[in-house]
Structure 1
Amino acid sequence: MPSITRRPPRSDEDRTAVRARLLATTQRLLTEGVGFTELGVQRIAAEAKVARSSFYVHFRDKSELLLLLATSLKQKSFDIVSRWQSEREADWEGLARAYEDVLTLYRENAAVLRAINEAATYDPAVRAAWNAQLGRFHRTVADRLRADQRAGLLGPDVDPEIGARVVVFGGFAVLSQHIADGDAADDAAVAREVALAHWHGTFRRPAVP
């Protein structure tokens, strides 16, 4: 009876390498201008030099892969803004620097951001997951506003939940639109205007009679 040679199971290191290759390949293709809607699993797998079946070992579909790229992007931007919030003497100038750093990050990952915005228009799961990522920012900003109210730095007439929504969702809309259509030379000016609007309009808004 002929012997059967079994392939040894892939190690965790092998799996991690394949997963990383699929992620890097997808980001490269998006950066090269391939639209996310047109980008199929077969092409991702072929470009990454893995079997199509191997793709599904790591990801349920291409949307799940995209969301992993998006989660990494959001975590980095969250870390940038969190550093500003943790500063002892946080002010609008520090917030402007943080927003400028976020714009730099978004420019480096513009293709992923574009793909997320594209997929969110027709994929409810992508839209819900992306909004959940923004929701994390919302909770952090709302907590900051409540803390500032307790410290007497912000008037009681500011609604922390609504104010945080304006800062997070409004700010993201402006920054992402600037990445899509604006000039990189204007990044500092855009960051400054958004920071001033958020600082004086929400974080340190004077009490309204």
Structure 2
Amino acid sequence: MERRLLDATERLMRDGASFTELSVDRLSGEAGISRASFYIYFEDKGHLLRRLAGQVFGDLADGARRWWTVAGRHDPDDVRAAMSSIIAIYRRHQAVLVALNEMAAYDPLTGEAYRELLTGISEQLTRVIEEGQADGSIRPELAALTTASALTWMVERACQQNLPAQPPDYDAELATTLAEIVWGALYLKPASEH
């Protein structure tokens, strides 16, 4: 049900509708469900958006795991692959992420959900940093949680601010740039030595 509504919401928004102007009737109709069915699963559109955000952030975390799960290899190409994956997922779910960002500014529940989702990503990255510090590959003087939070928000803001205004051929440049910044911030050895 959620996946159908996610797909329907993204289709409508790709076609130019803003989330705020989409009615429950229109969302339900596009998803092929009744209005009553919508309200069985969701309190309102904000609740739908928060649930959709959870799915999208799950996808984004999966993209980041392309590096996290193999971080022990200390390979800058793994960081680049993760950034490329994150950007591709952001691009695919851009309409929902833009709506989430907009609604977070005026809806306290959505704002809190957005911060919690990003905190969850930061916590996973914190473990990667701590493991790298333990094996001597990541700079030991870094505060792991603070660094993870800063890097997570940097990637989120870079995607949120740049991708809606840039064509898809920009994505590779952004992925390379983000990977270089992340690598340079964390690792003791320059990427060029790998």
- Normalised to the residue count of structure 1, the TM-score between the two structures is 0.82
Asked if the contact 1:84/1:90 (under 8 Å) is kept, the reply is no
Q: Give a deviation string over 1:12-68, Cα, whole Å, max 9, x none.
A: xxxx5xx55444322221221111111122332344454433321111111111122
Paired letter, 1:169: W
Asked if the contact 1:100/1:187 (under 8 Å) is kept, the reply is yes
1:192 to 176, 179, 183: 176
| Structure 1 residues 85 and 51, CA gap change in structure 2 (3 angstroms) | closer
Paired letter, 2:52: L
Aligned to 1:71: 54
Give 1:1-209 correspondences, 5 Å limit. Answer: 16=1, 20-87=3-70, 88-204=72-188
How many residues matched? 189
Answer with 23-32 or 63-72: which moved more. Answer: 23-32
Say which one has the larger Rg.
Answer: 1
Measure, in 2, the Cα distance between the counterparts of 1:56 and 1:48.
13
Q: Give a deviation string over 1:140-196, Cα, whole Å, max 9, x none.
A: 111111111121222331111111111101111112222112221121111111111
- Normalised to the residue count of structure 2, the TM-score between the two structures is 0.87
| Structure 1 residues 41 and 111, CA gap change in structure 2 (3 angstroms) | same
Paired letter, 1:93: D
Measure, in 1, the Cα distance between the counterparts of 2:14 and 2:44.
20
Answer with 157-166 or 87-96: which moved more. Answer: 87-96
Answer with 196-205 or 107-116: which moved more. Answer: 196-205
Paired letter, 2:169: A
Quote the sequence identity (%). Answer: 30
Asked if the contact 1:77/1:102 (under 8 Å) is kept, the reply is yes
Runs of 5+ unmatched residues, structure 1: 1-15
Q: CA RMSD of the aligned region, Å?
A: 2.0
